[in-house]
Structure 1
């Protein structure tokens, strides 16, 4: 499939931007959620295959990573955001520049799940309503702990459906290589969401392949 030109000949500037992004495959991924829910651990497992040495709160840290997917080189700019209310202005920049958003919540906290609907989905609706997003339940390893009340997979999936997420996935940062594989699945879905969204945008503008 060729995306370098449209069958109609001329293209407007917005179409040209979409086509250029389709060819370059450079995407911005914003990872959002409550402070301490495990956003940084997820990113580290994907980008470095390990956990961070220090538990340092992020304000807006960016990781750049290149991967090969189906023979295509894809570059991701992954933005690790703060969950603190006082950092909303910086976080909003990540929202507005994102191609896909990963919303995280801790499955061992009902409040964290409720904040998905009350805070994070509301932010997306106001700032980037057309951006696709995933819902990820972190700290999956707590599900087996005695005396710990956790959000069930069913309730996590129901929340994802309620807010319009493209999927619901779960993640544990403390399962070694399995955690690394889980992180790849999550970011793989994020990449596919970016590609699908670009295709839809081009289709909506009546752009066809040559």
Structure 2
């Protein structure tokens, strides 16, 4: 005869669940804005539907997988991409306004290098296996702030090692992993060609949002996902 299932486990199994898959890249300021908006949406949704279990899964997606491993000059990249200093200034002003609404103060003037993010994403995967989801999310947040607020080159193995240790990873294992990931980055990427842009959210594998949507729009998508 099977033992009866504990009541708490049975109740948890019956709770409706929303699984949110988030595709992101560290060089995308809209991804950091989207992360903040998602966090606000989770708080709001928890107040509306405390009976629902929410799971967030972070998926790496390189926007520019062909970036040289040593990176490229940040200002020159955006000037070439947008065509003029005026266009670059206008785009940054737009991002700053959206960031301010989400509680973010971008420091674009500190950034010197547009990095190849393959090693940073590999570090996230390594942290998830070694320390679990909480450490992985902490590291994602720290890498975003290192790049957009501190202007650090997150394609530099030494920078990644220091940040990984700050977030609780063991130094020697981390150093070995980063040395390996740097070698493999020349032939591997974290790009998913099914994704046109980031941030990209999928709710319960059925509904999607692309772009840094407001907390309210994210809550609406979560509500829709549990309705079916």
Same fold (TM over 0.5): no
More strand by share: 1
What TM-score do you get using the length of structure 1 for normalisation?
0.31
What TM-score do you get using the length of structure 2 for normalisation?
0.29
Structure number with greater Rg is 2
More helix by share: 2
